[in-house]
A and B are shown apart, each in its own frame.
Chain A
């Protein structure tokens, strides 16, 4: 039930984010969502793509250091309090969120949250038990 996220190391300078996106585009790989974590010196581009194995191969061949991380995609209602409710559900599990990002796509009243948990399996179990919709790769 975990989603594969690709992470790339990028130097923090103009134009650095274009090249990997262009590579994926040329191969017909769609970027579902992404987030760029940046520091003064460098950035980490995190991507959820339509074909992570092909994407990883392509980027590695182009010389990027690519890291594959298992993240969890969760569906919540796209309304005030949607996220807060979810986080409250999570709280008793004691699972730590390393980082998260959100997006909405093609589902009018739903948003999708991507979580990087320290213990993804425990988190999934807990969310499922609470009736939260944890999405598999194919539904993204």
Chain B
């Protein structure tokens, strides 16, 4: 195993790491206070300032920043650098209301590239690898973030961007691609489509998949690894913080190492926002430690995870976070019960062994919430006998009932009728009138 020089901070002894974090925290708090009105006002209201940070844990006294703050200050209200120093803007897809704009100085881009180099290196990529970058290029941070990281690593980058599945498969095969970056659901789509075209992804030189931009489960990983013949790594990031490259799995595949020399992680209680100790599950809150153009102080990610502080087999000293299986955003409430799509997945898995394509439809009938889980019939479970399918249906209803404590209806639907997205899979369709 060789180590990439850029990965040196991954192995920093803990006392040094905490010292570095504290120094950077103070600097970023000072920068935010001096240059951003929203941060200054909020710190003043609480009598807080950079000097209050005597230990990284003091950060817990500072106010949160939320997605709503980004919208309220749209477009440039949280910038801490003049436009003359901003060299790049990205924006989130903005599915709800205005898109969110994020800014980078030249140094910010260098940091971003460096964490992406470390991320790819952790996945075992090196000079000589051929990387098919199927993240969307453009305003979305995924495409360019992965692009510059892979290039800086010295790998060969194919900037194919998202979409055009048949061409993706042709390029995977013909260009002897060894690594692919895309969303996990899109990769599953690729495997399925390739099979239809008579191409076995598993038999190609492809050996590494770096998957992110949406929550996925261990069962999806097992399927991807078995059917795709790749080692599947989870990469985590969000535009508000930097883009992809906030955290990455190592070959131990036991949580994602947070590049905590640049992004300081906290876990807080979902309800009251109180900081939680390592090991406890809650919402991930991130503070950028080196960002210049747009520092983020205690940004609430809506992603639910926990910090794994135990040493990792790979030798990295960076703390890990458990893979994100759910977001507080995804949670929906039905008849007063909190439900996460991950619970539905667990129930479907229990019955079928692998995760079928599914979708959750929420409706309101005569004032009552109703939930229907549509499940595609797979070749493994399809039978010419009515009884066998009714049995499957009954087992699905039973498993969901057992997992959720709720009676939900299950509808078996034809294969390929649930929309496959080129990007993020849409699991929940909420048709309830507000």
Contact = CB atoms under 8 A, between A and B. Distances in A.
Interface of A: 5, 7, 9-11, 16, 37, 39, 41-42, 44, 46, 61, 63-67, 69, 98-99, 116
A65 B382 contact: yes
Chain B interface mostly helix, strand, loop or mixed?
A: loop
A41 B379 contact: no
A5 B390 contact: no
Interface stretch (B177-185, B334-342, B409-417): B409-417
A98 B383 CA distance: 12
Nearest to B379: A65
Contacts of B415: 9, 63-65
A41 B372 CA distance: 13
Contacts of A7: 382-384
Interface in B379-434: 379, 382-386, 389-390, 393, 411-417
Given A10-B414, A11-B414, A65-B415, A44 B384 contact: yes
Interface of B: 196, 377-379, 382-386, 389-390, 393, 411-417
A99 B411 contact: no
Nearest to A9: B377
Given A11-B413, A63-B416, A65-B377, A37 B382 contact: no
A64 B384 contact: no
A65 B412 CA distance: 12
B309 to A, nearest CB: 46
Contacts of A9: 377, 382, 389, 412, 414-415
A37 B385 CA distance: 9
Pick the 6 closest A-B CB pairs, nearest first: A7-B384, A63-B416, A65-B415, A65-B382, A69-B384, A9-B377
A116 B393 CA distance: 22
A9 B417 CA distance: 12
Contacts of A61: 196
Contact of B389 (A16, A44, A46, A98): A44
A11 to B, nearest CB: 6
A46 B412 CA distance: 18
Given A9-B377, A41-B411, A44-B389, A67 B416 contact: no
A64 B378 CA distance: 10
